[in-house]
A and B are shown apart, each in its own frame.
Chain A
């Protein structure tokens, strides 16, 4: 695989917490334009992996690069500026801001500073139109003036997508986007992910193999902090090691 094909790459990524090896020597290449899923049973180190890749944690060893640039020691806020934006497991909205304001906060970052405390927030009205378009994209037009905290769980997720997409990230990292969702919501969010994956790369972490089956181009299975198997759904789901890893947690 040539370098330009790989948007995000981790080499020998390791994270050790006081005497406990959470992630051990993980190598990962995310291909540009693909939907890549990282799955594994509870405690496999998915979330740790995810936090390492998004710089919310610092790896003990190994390196991470984005678009060929070494980001191993960068701050979490800086990688967002490079075009790599993450979502959160518990849907991360700003509850006391309106839906429109939520999206606008993301757009507002383009102004650079934003330390101008003496200026009226009316200068932010310039972003309203674009924010409204993002809100529309995820079907929340009717809720634009509503406080985000009052939305249903599924709609909060949709709002989070709208906010993330407002940054026009090249690479989207989704942390268990389907966690805690009812079947119909899962289908809606799946369709949404598929739709937004055009011209973008998506890396998502999921607990459940079946929900990522139709969605992902490539699946990496983690177990006990290590890569167990990698490939498309067919390959991975028939791998005896994967089946074994999932037995006992009810996904055999």
Chain B
């Protein structure tokens, strides 16, 4: 009996752990929600909305990188592409905000299906290059196509009545609409990671050959996660267009693809909350360091170098290691 308790104790501790981790995660989500509900009353709402949009974008991107093991270097195509569609729909067709976001999201899904089904045939750096190539095509299309407004972009995008009923033109009112979308999106990603699908995804990330030998048709799973990631990146972009009332080339430019990689890496790619932290940090830097002009990029680079040297697993990854809990 004593023997059993001795060998049983550590096992018990381990079987108890998986019960507590979801509770911890839900607690963090609750704290984040409370923070973001209160934040617009003491922080600038547009800044917060930018953080939220990028947090969703980074989480969607990280679903692909951190959990699918696929490094896309063309996610700007979905983010920026959806922002054009949503802006155009709101401005030219008078779409209500929720429909404009939905249409942008749908367009990103279709684009994701097209690009994804071709890109997943290649692996590693070649996959990244193929996604980059497609994103460049989307960029030049956006530059040339008449409806995107070329260098000017689509400006003065209206915030129409929500559901055709509610006036949410004011920043603080619009903020809660954005919060609902982005928070919902991040929760959905959390669920995806912890679904049967997410479990197979992790297996493929960990060992693709072995997953094949167990009978999984890995390319189908890769395509599915690619499309989901692209779709949610589109949601973020479509929402951002309504926040800034602008869709521009910045959002389809390759530097945007790079920025989201940076956000995910900085926060920690094998974590749930890392991309949110990374997005908040980068957006805050861009905002508060704006006075430094072109030096922002240099500062960003310096912080990235420091992060890579000191926190190989990202900020949240390192915190998770200290706490001995997956975050």
Contacts and interface: CB of A to CB of B under 8 A. Distances in A.
Interface residues of A, number: 41
Interface string A100-128: 01001110110100111111110110000
Contacts of A93: 207, 210
A121 B196 contact: yes
B32 interface: no
Interface in A179-209: none
Contact of B214 (A95, A117, A167): A167
Interface centre among B195, B215, B228 (most CB of A within 10 A): B215
B215 A109 contact: yes
Contact of A94 (B192, B195, B210): B210
Interface in B14-29: 14-15, 17-18
B284 interface: no
A170 to B, nearest CB: 13
Given A96-B202, A96-B206, A144 B197 contact: no
A80 B214 contact: yes
A80 B14 CA distance: 32
B202 A97 contact: yes
Contacts of B212: 56, 76-77, 80
Contacts of B195: 116-121
A108 B215 contact: no
A124 B196 contact: yes
Given A106-B214, A145-B17, A111 B206 contact: no
A137 interface: no
A114 B196 contact: yes
A114 B214 CA distance: 13
B326 to A, nearest CB: 10
A85 interface: yes
Given A92-B207, A101-B199, A142-B7, 10 more contacts: A75-B217, A77-B218, A92-B210, A94-B210, A97-B206, A109-B215, A115-B221, A117-B191, A118-B191, A146-B14
List 8 tightest A-B contacts by C-beta distance, closest first.
A145-B14, A80-B215, A94-B206, A92-B210, A117-B197, A117-B192, A105-B203, A117-B195
